Structure 1
Amino acid sequence: MDEIEVVVVRVFTDERGTNGNELGIVTSAPATAGREQEIAAALGFSETVFVDSLDTTAGLAAIRIFTPAAELPFAGHPSVGTAWWLAHERTPVGALVEKAGDVAVSVDLDRDSATIDARAAWTPDFTWHALGTPAEVEALDAFAFTEGQHYAYAWIDEAEGRLRARMFAPAMGIVEDEATGAAAVALTAKLGRALHILQGEGSEITTQPLDGGLVRVGGTVVYDRTIDATL
């Protein structure tokens, strides 16, 4: 058993800094090497990031991302949250090196916000459920989804691009994800327009299609706590 420091931030909070999806951030060390999946499962966050290397001169940080059940080549809320945390700790970078590719990032510490530029091709395959009303999305039973990755959404205001959404991913070991940046990237590419997504209990995600097949996704991030976990 080793003592491992885990920084927890909440990503895609609302404007008051409430809600948001918890993210565990671990600086890789001999105590974590080869145990990343075990540690992520024990912590139980929808995703845990391991920062493998940091080069502030080059502006790059190499990270790995794990759900409780699997490693992901890319994920949105871990990328946004890690970018913000590194800037908050005065070690900002311009890109995160992930298995899917290099993810360009931008952070505004004055607003506690961060954005990333990603490709829909990097995201998991989602089963999309376009429902008629936000109330139908809210009435869904998370435990009714027993396999795969499912994203349910309905327009709050289609003209303004405002959506109500929920995501269920039993294949990743996640009953329900509070805020899902990768799904926001994929849905933005699918619908071909900027979106403002209200997901989960009240998390907020904004997106914008860019040239070259990229999608910018971002939101507010806040520090929550630090855990000294014995694992």
Structure 2
Amino acid sequence: MPDYDVVRVFCAPNGGYGNELGVVRDGSVLPDPEDRQRCAAKLGFSETVFVDDPERGVIDIYTPTLRLPFAGHPCVGTAWLLDVPELVTPAGVVGARQDGEFSWIEARAEWAPPRTLRRYATVAEVEGLAVPPPGDWEYAWAWEDEAAGRVRARAFPGRDDGIDEDEATGAAALLLTEQLGRALNITQGAGSQILTAPQPEDWVEIGGRVFLDR
């Protein structure tokens, strides 16, 4: 098993919650995609990142069962950890910046994997949902305060890999922001916070707090 860091991405204001991310800073120790996939499965995080060039920000992202061209919380967390102005992913170049307590990336909705965005009438309905059986990747959401852009959400990957619910998912927030066409303040999972803001020419910024666990 290679050395790796663990960061929590999209943490709450008090530093709690957030989605854990494994980052292998020296991707050269596992250059083969099949070995990386096995490593990601063994680590068991919703996503694991392998850094192929820390200065240029070249990264490779895996779930326990899939290789991804782009994913939100891995990009936010890795950009913060490497302190780089951009990341190079198979989907495209992701802009990155630090703004006080928040780490931001800029990406395009077309890079995000398909998600089923399912709106519910109330926050209580979202919070009361049981984990659905494996199937579509579902992002369940409801307005907490529509005028203020506050959303309550939960994410169900629909995969049979031990990740029943994703605590915080930037790609789904990216798709929801594109669909609604407005800035959002999303509370997801047990209490993680994701901020988004539409940008010109179909770009979207996604931001949140990142903390190093180990």
Same fold by TM-score, threshold 0.5 exceeded?
A: yes
Q: Per the alignment, in what secondary structure is the counterpart of residue 5 of structure 1?
A: coil
- Which amino acid is 2:89 matched to? E
Whole-Å separation in 2 of the counterparts to 1:210 and 1:168: 27
Aligned to 2:126: 137
Identity %: 50
State whether residues 27 and 51 of structure 2, in contact with CA within 8 Å, keep that contact through their aligned partners in structure 1. no
Instruction: Indicate the residue corresponding to 1:39 in structure 2.
Output: 39
The aligned counterpart of 2:77 is 81
Aligned length: 211
Counterpart pick for 1:208 among 190, 197, 205: 197
User: What TM-score comes out, normalization by structure 1 length?
Assistant: 0.88
What secondary structure is seen at the aligned counterpart in 2 of 1:171?
Answer: coil
- 1:94: how far off? 1.1
Compared with structure 1, are the counterparts of its residues 172 and 161 closer, same or farther at alpha carbon in structure 2 (3 Å cutoff)? farther
Instruction: Look up the SS of the partner of 1:170 in the other structure.
Output: coil
**Inter-partner Cα distance in structure 1 for 2:117 and 2:130:** 16
With normalisation by structure 2, the TM-score equals 0.95
Pairwise CA distance, 1:196: 0.3
Aligned match for 1:159, one of 125, 140, 147: 147
Counterpart of 2:97, as a letter, is S
Gaps of 5+ in 1: 88-92, 226-231
Amino acid aligned to 1:99: P
- Whether 1:53 and 2:35 are equivalent positions in the alignment is no
Mapped partners of 2:80, 2:27: distance in 1:
21
Partner-residue secondary structure (3-state), 1:8? strand
Corresponding residue of 1:127: 116
Pick from 14, 17, 39: which aligns with 2:15? 17
Query: d(CA) in 2 for partners of 1:170 and 1:65?
Result: 19
Structure 2 matches for 1:175-190, cutoff 5 A? 175-190=164-179
The one of 189, 192, 199 aligned to 2:188: 199
TM-superposed deviation, 1:202: 0.1
Alpha-carbon distance in structure 1 between the residues aligned to 2:150 and 2:94: 25
- Alpha-carbon distance in 1 for matches of 2:75, 2:136: 22
- Root mean square deviation of aligned Cα: 1.2
Residue by residue, what CA displacement relative to the aligned partner does 1:80-103 show, whole Å, maximum 9, x if unpaired? Answer: 00011112xxxxx21100000000
Q: Once the 2 structures are TM-superposed, how far is the Cα of residue 30 of structure 1 from its aligned partner?
A: 4.6
Equivalent position SS for 1:175: coil
Within 1, Cα distance between the matches of 2:21 and 2:28?
21
Identify the match of residue 106 of structure 2 among 112, 117, 120: 117
Counterpart in the other structure of 2:64: 68
Structure 2: how far apart are the matches of 1:166 and 1:201? 9
Q: Distance in 2 between matches of 1:175 and 1:28?
A: 29
Select 2:209's aligned residue among 212, 220, 231. 220
